[in-house]
Structure 1
């Protein structure tokens, strides 16, 4: 059994799932030669991992499991790194197509953004970036000819067969993982091309399109090859090595590479491709062997929502509508010169429960919207009293919380009732800031609607705060604990009824809901709506504590 298979068999056993390895599968036809190759590849992976320090191994594990890498502060070193890159290119460019391209259009080749893109893809390794730039122009000339060597490739540069290959859907951009990294989904069962050059040109276009996003350059992409069930490669691996070589010639940082399969041929193919990658990439390469349902269970542990796969659960039929819309948006953005295609402007027809939808009506109560409202309510006090930098940190953290579960910030595409567009991070940040302002005004109005009381709180009163204890407060916490399971199982409308029942019980005992009013030197009886907000927050806190302790 391969080391990778052993690792994920152990992982799946923890989840109560068992993934078969090819050797255990009834359909496995591994020869002794195949088994020997698998063992050799396992040894290569072990060597790659053993070459890392403990801290480096931990870091690679976190990256593979969807924990975002710490993005470097470029401003502290980018100028010196660019100079290093220029010096290396000056020594190595003679007689290369890079030198030809530089003579044809020095502005294109020497553009700061173009060079930084290669540095980001190689994590600011100037030597590796220079080597990749030389290879990049060799591939570009081979695919598109010398006349297109020093221009950005657009949809107009693809012929009819190239476009047909792209629309077939072997490579799709379904969304992002929990760390907001673009997912490059490969469905081998949809491979279709007239010639291998058609496939390579379409791959080049897709990969370079997502690199127009600065966020994708910084965070990298997660490559997901899903060869399960009927989604097996009908081309029997033709051109896999050429695809891999082209992929390595482009400045796209591979944050992680996952191959999911349930058949021996794809498993062996995946093991063979490992040899082409550097030791750094091998440390982030994983092969998973199991059925569609087993693989679906594994995806979330790597920060990928199964809902992002455009597949029907039983039949594994592929819904191509979103991919075709993405292809159409590529054409539109090529003509409008959009700078950020493939991330913030990706058009999609489906949203998931974790998405935040900026739309009026019932859809504004999507689970992602509810979660964001809860975060605003919970963090409002820290936000209102924080510095400008602290407020920004809070908002960034909230965006990260939504992304961790596969959520996105979406708005409806103008002129369409069914299509959605993912908004840029800056726009999401502004909208959350506005939510905090609205919450502060609403809470302020509720407090103003309360009334001052004379004297001290009575025993059955509930005083909101961490230090005050009373019979009324004890009763409230008892009721919250007793009804927590019921509250957590209900939707938003029914949860309000549970909260109101707690309020009525307190009032039935003659209790009131109070908070300190230091500016008036006394106590303030809050409105019912404000009491409802506070009790709802206690329910949420109780749920978090239960999860932490459980």
Structure 2
């Protein structure tokens, strides 16, 4: 089932459900009946997950279980493989683009954007290098981007300034939270708290989902190579019926998530123990399973947890997640001391600390104070590692994007899209550099550096765990010259 068919299937499935967006319409059964019914319904939900798991081969089943239990493996890539799948991707686009008017229009006006290898590689990685699914998802992505941000924004990156006041309120609500600590496998963990959606419109919800996933999560190298751990956490009080989203929001949000190049390596549904039936949740789960169709990757990597907050967090810990820094305490209360930390650190890295007061007035006062202090601490660390007090901006902490070139070693650096682009650009100058005299070689290095800068890319170095800063000109030129020497060694061999 392709992404377009999934969207129509989603509409037909959800139109049959009348429980979404409604309040409690039936009396609560007595405790004994409710608890027994809940245990049975948990079995029904877990049975759906088990059914999907049993459809897999033994190897696929073992891989899914390893991902769930935090012992999975990174996505395997080599430079040769990347070039091969990008070539197949382009061939598939050429064959199928006539079926998608949105892509054709975007390609006419913004060809560089849709043909950027780092952009296409996001979709290939999210789909485990399955070219057909990756192309279909890219077409779906562009349609949704045009729908929620307008045709004029499709061929460029979306920024914080593209979000309206309602979007920013939702962003600050705590609905999303990116955990500071990664799980035992080094994977990024994100929490979604449905109770905090409030009265947000479906359009606002989708714009914020786009911003959080595409602008913040997907550029993280670990997310592309390891996948994302997603935790849906119910913080509603056990004596109350959990808030169910409106049908329009549910339809739109699932469709948006399906269009984003993100791979969920593990999904945990954390439901509060309550005197309540789980029929609505099971119905939503069935809809999601039907909509995603043959793409069972996320379905077989899901687990359901049920109990008190202490029990839920114990179960998360058993799956390799550090519960010391999750956004909910043992009593089920949202932790205001770390609320929105991830967002403010992101904005500080973008040099947008000047908008902190505006965000505070929008409802994030406690988080703003805490995170503003954290941002200053990061800058202080940067200064301690060699920056002068008069040049703090140059050494301010930065959140790396796909376009940036990362200095260092390791597979995540080697296969970072920005580094791949950098090597491809430098390779074009390899022969000229080898035959040039010393002074001309310096000019070639400066020329390559200038091209990188004109493309809006940055050379970044890591000065502390998770803290990236912009490298100076000398370090940048040394890196470029070093790459040319590596080309020469490889050529001689």
Range class of TM-score, shorter chain: 0.5 to 0.7
When residues 23 and 425 of structure 1 are mapped into structure 2, their CA distance, relative to the original with a 3 A threshold, is farther
Matches of 1:308 and 1:140 in 2, distance apart?
33
Contact 1:189-1:230 at 8 Å conserved across structures: no
Gaps of 5+ in 2: 1-27, 354-369, 375-380, 383-408, 414-462, 470-493
The yes-or-no answer on 1:196 pairing with 2:202 is yes
Q: Given the alignment of the two structures, is residue 424 of structure 1 paired with residue 429 of structure 2, yes or no?
A: no
The answer to whether the Cα contact below 8 Å between 2:228 and 2:264 also exists between their aligned partners in 1 is: yes
**Is the alpha carbon distance of 1:161 and 1:189 closer, same or farther for their aligned partners in structure 2, counting shifts above 3 Å?**
same
Distance in 2 (alpha carbons) for counterparts of 1:248 and 1:99: 21
- Of residues 264, 268, 281, the one that matches 1:254 is 264
**Counterpart in the other structure of 2:167:** 162
In the TM superposition, what is the alpha-carbon distance from 1:174 to its structure 2 partner?
A: 1.5
Q: Distance in 1 between matches of 2:191 and 2:125?
A: 22
- Structure 1 unmatched runs, 5+: 1-21, 338-346, 352-357, 360-391, 397-420, 428-550
- Is 1:89 aligned to residue 93 of structure 2? yes
Match of 1:526 in 2: none
> CA 1:107/1:150 → structure 2, altered by over 3 Å: closer, same or farther?
same
Distance 1:267 1:179 in 2: 29
Q: Which residue number in structure 1 is paired with residue 187 of structure 2?
A: 181
Counterpart in 2 of 1:311? 328
Matching of residues 338-353 of structure 1 within 5 Å: none
Q: What is the total number of aligned residue pairs between the two structures?
A: 330
Q: Deviations over 1:158-201 (max 9, x none)?
A: 00110001100111102321111111101122222432211111
1:225/1:179 CA distance change after superposition, 3 Å: same
Shift in Å, 1:274: 3.5
Moved over 6 A (4+): 22-25, 29-32, 34-38, 231-234, 347-351
Match of 2:341 in 1: 325
Q: Does the 8 Å contact 2:327/2:339 carry over to 1?
A: no
Superposed displacement of residue 70, structure 1: 3.4
Do the aligned residues in 1 keep the contact of 2:195 with 2:236 (CA within 8 Å)? no
Give the match for residue 207 of structure 1.
213
Q: Report the TM-score when normalising by structure 2.
A: 0.60
Instruction: Indicate which of 119, 124, 146 corresponds to 2:124.
Output: 119
Query: Superposed, which structure 2 residues align to 1:138-157 within 5 Å?
Result: 138-157=143-162
Q: CA RMSD in A?
A: 3.6
How much does 1:424 deviate? 3.5
CA contact (8 A) 1:161 1:193 kept: no
For residues 68-100 of structure 1, give each alpha carbon's deviation from its aligned partner in whole angstroms, at most 9, with x where no partner exists. Answer: 323303323111111111111111111431221
Question: CA, structure 1 residues 96+193, in 2 after alignment: closer, same or farther (shift >3 Å)?
Answer: farther
Cα–Cα, structure 1 residues 23 and 155, in superposed 2: closer, same or farther, change >3 Å? same
Distance 2:324 2:372 in 1: 13
**Offset of residue 237 of structure 1:** 2.2
Q: How does 1:323-472 map to 2 (within 5 A)?
A: 323-335=339-351, 423-424=465-466
Asked if the contact 2:344–2:371 (Cα under 8 Å) also holds between the matched residues in 1, the reply is no
1:227 aligns with 2:234: yes
**1:315-344 Cα shifts (integer Å, max 9, x gaps):** x2212343333323333444579xxxxxxx
Bigger CA radius of gyration: 1
Q: Secondary structure at the match of 1:288?
A: strand
Which shifted more, 247-256 or 223-232?
A: 223-232
